């Protein structure tokens, strides 16, 4: 059977909730087409020749973390993927207000973006507080699966970094097991504070502050072998 007959399971829920504010809706029409990630295979080096590195954020939510990281590092091309339209609209507002020129946006499934990236083309990947799909029958919809981990290993350069964060204890255990099952990744933690404390370069988001999970935020940092 073809892939079209059996499309990949969605790793996200709804793609729109409340009405989008007029200003943000205007940015969806004006700014997004200019900074949308290419919809065909592309090399980040060709997309931004002046950038010293390429970072990827999968599921950027409202865009606060992505925009702040891009503002801190204007020498880095930051590519973010998010299927939730309200989140994309919010991120565009942050990008517009800060005048950021080093951000590209995939307004859709991050796995499609990963498939368009060449091997060893990304230095950092952030997967922060993804949808936990808490019901057991929905665990197959979680973003972190063996196949996705393999794709992350493929696009990350040797020595590249992957950060996974969640406030759902079962998803933390799930992610740790599946990422470490891939020999390309090494967990960088030496002591408990390495996953209990927010990393120095972390940007706390509104979602994180809501504390919707069942545990304090856990941060897992991995290195690509």
Annotated binding residue 208: yes
Annotated binding residue 101: no
Known catalytic membership, residue 131: yes
Element holding 96 (H helix, E strand): helix 85-98
- State how far the Cα of 24 lies from the Cα of 14, in Å rounded to an integer: 19
* 3-state class (DSSP) for residue 159: strand
- Return the closest-CA partner of residue 103 out of 91, 115, 114: 91
Annotated binding residue 207: yes
Annotated binding residue 157: no
Annotated binding residue 123: no
Active-site hit among 131, 190, 194, 201: 131
Annotated binding residue 135: yes
Annotated binding residue 148: no
Cβ atoms 48, 179 nearer than 8 A: no
- State how far the Cα of 84 lies from the Cα of 8, in Å rounded to an integer: 17
Element holding 97 (H helix, E strand): helix 85-98
Annotated binding residue 206: yes
Binding site, annotated residues for S-adenosyl-L-methionine: 57, 82, 109, 131
Binding site, annotated residues for substrate: 135, 167, 205-208
Active site residues: 131
């Amino acid at each position: 059977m073809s892939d079209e007959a059996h499309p990949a399971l969605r790793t996200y829920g709804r793609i729109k909730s409340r009405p989008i504010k007029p200003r943000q809706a205007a940015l969806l029409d004006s700014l997004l087409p200019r900074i949308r990630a290419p919809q065909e295979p592309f090399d980040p080096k060709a997309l931004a020749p002046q950038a010293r590195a390429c970072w990827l954020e999968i599921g950027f939510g409202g865009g606060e973390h992505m925009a702040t990281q891009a503002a801190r590092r204007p020498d880095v091309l930051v590519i973010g993927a998010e299927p939730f339209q309200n989140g994309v609209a919010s991120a565009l507002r942050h990008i517009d207000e800060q005048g950021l020129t080093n951000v590209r946006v995939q307004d859709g499934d991050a796995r499609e973006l990963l498939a368009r990236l060449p091997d060893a083309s990304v230095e950092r990947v952030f997967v922060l507080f993804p949808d936990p799909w808490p019901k057991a029958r929905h665990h197959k919809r979680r973003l972190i699966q063996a196949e996705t981990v393999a794709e992350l290993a493929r696009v990350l350069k040797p020595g590249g970094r992957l950060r996974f964060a969640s406030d759902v204890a079962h998803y933390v255990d799930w992610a740790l097991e599946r990422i470490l099952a891939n020999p390309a990744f090494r967990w960088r933690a030496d002591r408990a504070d390495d996953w209990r404390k927010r990393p120095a370069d972390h940007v706390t988001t509104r979602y994180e502050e809501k504390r919707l999970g069942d545990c304090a935020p856990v941060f897992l940092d991995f290195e690509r072998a």
